[in-house]
């Protein structure tokens, strides 16, 4: 059974936000005559770019935390499985002695 990896999805989202952030910042450098019917104020593009960059950072942090929690869960399951196998092996040895 394969589980969906939240961390991978969050990393892809962060990459998309970062790409759009860079495009928005580049748009603030384009002269106004090349931007018909678009916001001509460069500060709007810079603000949009900064907002997208911050969303990218938050999404990356979420991906890191999701990865850490997935790893903790996986190791906990492995430890519980190992302890169960050791307990069953000890129980079978104990039953053979009787």
* Cβ proximity of 56 and 24 under 8 Å: no
- The three-state secondary structure class of 69 is helix
Region of poorest pLDDT, from 18-22, 37-41, 59-63, 76-80? 37-41
What is the per-residue pLDDT for 19? Answer: 96
Question: What number is the average pLDDT over the span 9-20?
Answer: 94
Average pLDDT, the chain: 84
Classify residue 65: in a domain, yes or no. Answer: yes
User: What span, in angstroms and rounded, lies between the C-alpha atoms of 7 and 1?
Assistant: 18
Classify residue 18: in a domain, yes or no. Answer: yes
Classify residue 1: in a domain, yes or no. Answer: no
Report the length, in residues, of the chain.
98
User: Token digits for 14?
Assistant: 């962060």
**Total tally of structural domains belonging to the chain:** 1
**What confidence tens digit (pLDDT) does each residue in 21-61 have?**
999 988 888 776 766 666 666 788 889 999 999 999 999 99
């Amino acid at each position: 059974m394969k589980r969906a990896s939240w961390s991978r999805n969050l990393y892809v989202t962060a990459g998309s936000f970062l790409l759009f952030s860079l495009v928005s910042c580049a748009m603030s450098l384009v002269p106004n005559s090349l931007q018909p019917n678009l916001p001509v104020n460069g500060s709007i593009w810079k603000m949009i770019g900064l907002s997208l960059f911050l969303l990218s950072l938050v999404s990356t942090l979420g991906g890191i935390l999701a990865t850490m929690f997935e790893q903790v869960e996986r190791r906990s399951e492995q430890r519980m499985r190992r302890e169960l196998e050791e307990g069953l092996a000890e129980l079978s040895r104990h039953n053979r002695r009787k």
